[in-house]
Amino acid sequence: MKPKAAETWNMALGSLRNAEQHFNEGKGELIKDEAFNAVVYGRLAIYCLLGEGGENDISVDAMFDFMDDNKTKHYSPKELIKKMRKVLNCFSDLTPPENKLPRV
């Protein structure tokens, strides 16, 4: 695995953990920022692994779909965390076996 991709993926996972911690502490208003951070870092990890084009384009679409969807709909903190996990797992599924990012 490329070190920059692993580092960036770990940042995405850190944002996911932060969102879950905020949820457990009843700080739902902080989850949205962590969700956006996690998805952006996850997308950057894909870019670090794959470069331009192909699956990377899919990750860009998924990132913007996630952001646009969250602008137009109101999700509960629990639903937002579930959506964040879904997008990160989508990113993981795009990675080749030799550079597989772990699913969440």
pLDDT digits (tens, 9 = 90+) for 49-81: 888 777 777 788 888 888 888 777 888 899 989
DSSP-derived letter for residue 104 is -
Instruction: Report whether 91 contacts 46 (CB < 8 A).
Output: yes
Return the structure tokens found at 57.
């384009």
How do the domains of the chain map onto residue ranges?
3-95
pLDDT band at 28; cut points 50, 70, 90: confident
What CA–CA distance (Å, rounded) separates 42 from 78?
Answer: 20
Q: What mean pLDDT is reported for the chain? A: 89
**Rounded Cα–Cα distance for residues 11 and 6 (Å):** 9
